[in-house]
Amino acid sequence: MEGSKANKVISVAVLFVTVLFLLFSGFYITEHADHECNHDHCPVCEMIEVCSMILKITGTGIVFAAVYIGLHTEFFLRTVTYILCLTEDSLIARKVRLND
């Protein structure tokens, strides 16, 4: 029980940090897109490159996560539908006595 609760807290924290990275990377790129670059090793240009890589890598991961979740949701819905079809209402399920 304790490990499960700790895993949930860690998962929420990682999700929160990932969303912050995405938001701040996007904000940084939009704010500094029109900066005046004077030389080859511009720190702003290097940071824009890092932020765009973060967005590109995370975007790819989000696509795979969406497909993964979609497949598991489909499997879950099919399983639930199958189980509900097996538990149809019958005389035995209602415990009706059939006396002559």
pLDDT by residue (tens digit) across 47-63?
Answer: 888 888 887 887 777 77
The whole-number pLDDT of residue 97 equals: 83
Q: Are 32 and 48 in contact (CB under 8 A)?
A: yes
pLDDT digits (tens, 9 = 90+) for 78-87: 888 877 777 6
Confirm whether pTM is higher than 0.75. no
Which positions of the chain have pLDDT values less than 50? 1
**Start-end of H helices in the chain:** 2-31, 43-86, 91-94
The whole-number pLDDT of residue 20 equals: 84
3-state percent helix, strand, coil for the chain, nearest multiple of 5: 80, 0, 20
Structural domain boundaries in the chain:
2-94
**CA dihedral (67, 72, 78, 80) positive or negative:** negative
Query: What tokens were used for 6?
Result: 């700790």
| CA pair distance 32, 22, nearest whole angstrom | 16
The whole-number pLDDT of residue 19 equals: 79
Residues 6+ apart with CB under 8 A from 98: 91
